Structure 1
């Protein structure tokens, strides 16, 4: 008997793996054997590695995530060709789905990625006969168009069973989301899974997680690695504009070059949880003294400012094998936020 397939779709940092974690726990509680599949991912894909460990999957990582996209050139997959790529995906899927009642399929970084080789998330869903769970970061009401865009993409590939979940919803939008937005989605022939509201435990990385990701070194505040960071801001502006800019955010980390003492001092005049100094340059004596007085941790990294920003942005709302202890918290929050009963997943044969 073929397992039931659910493809989890969304753009980068919409919480696809987080939903897979929570849904897998829900399905296991229904007495189902759960598999996980990520057809296209990064080399040694961290999401696939995490799910393999959490679900105790016996399949090799090369089958759980059979195609590694290096992003070295636009045509790296074109050179391999659709026929061979499809064959790899189907062979790997056959392996990971063996003996499973349900397989959770994590989509590409965005649902339209790999359209150029006919392997976008909607196309994979069509190939595997999967239902779709579409995630949308709902920072404001204009994101309703992102919902309709995903619907249109999936319908173009004959995937009609769509369920929507909204992520990173500001608490101030709770009334409109639970009311008119929810009703609009349902009236547009889609099911509504629920809303994940901004939550520090879920979305804010700790200083310790940032330190690991940046291969960094603590200069001040070695005892403050459990502090959470809600937002990252890059300090590259003129010093006279820095204070106004930094006052816009609380519980933030400021990323700047180690030789920008003016930016460091301005950041510490505002609600700053961490200074990240890039380029392998440490703080001067004045910055050190101010950091110790105000108890602001300082971290050094060898990465440049741009690369540092890219790395830390990828930490928002993510769980990896490096912070696997967050899994129970993630599952609890998402189980409280999303109504997986909408999917009709049962153990009835």
Structure 2
């Protein structure tokens, strides 16, 4: 990757981030199976330490299942304010090495180091320097993938986890992709992976062997993406100004709900949570979606797109209530509700939110 015309992309991914922060801050947790989340009947695992992962404990796993797999699992309540603060430290380190940073979440980001801000000899050495800084300043380990595009860099960062790094060079990229299971590819979720398996596609080589016509027939608009990544091709730039397309929040109830008042209370809490984010970021959308998951895990959604922006908490609450009421009477118990705002647009300068009235 010495060729100056080749982009140099690093994907940095923190190792078991939430759980590692908890183990860092509480020495009694080190070396033990830790799950960030709540052990309640309806709880889910937000993150798991590597000690817990050996038992098959993963994020999004129901807490009861996690405890069944690992009876000694230690649950720790999440501290998102701490995770955000540590994430800010990490991103400040990134900024010393490049101006092109595209965060994906609190614990991972793409970095384009082609411009070589620090004058370090190679992208490999840059990744090592970044990981060393993260360890020294936060006490946490990170893994990194280095390649000539984002798709390969993200794949590579998972190849030497935890606390390692791996590079995919231009002369090996296409051949390396052929050896991997398609289930590992970004953009191929569990459902798509199963569909591909039914079609005889299990590896990158299998995917590359399919014609564009075949991929279009079976995967529609995603065909071009699958055709490209099977050849190690990804032209997407690292975009530090990537706009967020939606903001949502959801909650799982402690028990299945039937009563409208209880269901609506949950919807309103989620609407208020989303509004807090929208107000803080000054991001306002026109579409509101309410998600409902029933006790048998059937999921339905109801959406409404307004002619103007949802630019007040009251408006978001009203639309959300209208959407949840459209599913009454509920045919079965509800275990989860969520609210999402999307189709963000800039608020016209002349539109100003009304100040709340002072309490009488």
Is TM > 0.5 for Structure 1 vs Structure 2? no
Q: Which has the higher Rg, Structure 1 or Structure 2?
A: 2
Q: Counting helix residues as a fraction of each chain, which structure ranks higher?
A: 1
* RCO comparison, higher one (Cα < 8 Å, 6+): 1
Q: TM-score w.r.t. structure 2 length?
A: 0.29
**So what's the TM-score if we normalise by structure 1?**
0.30
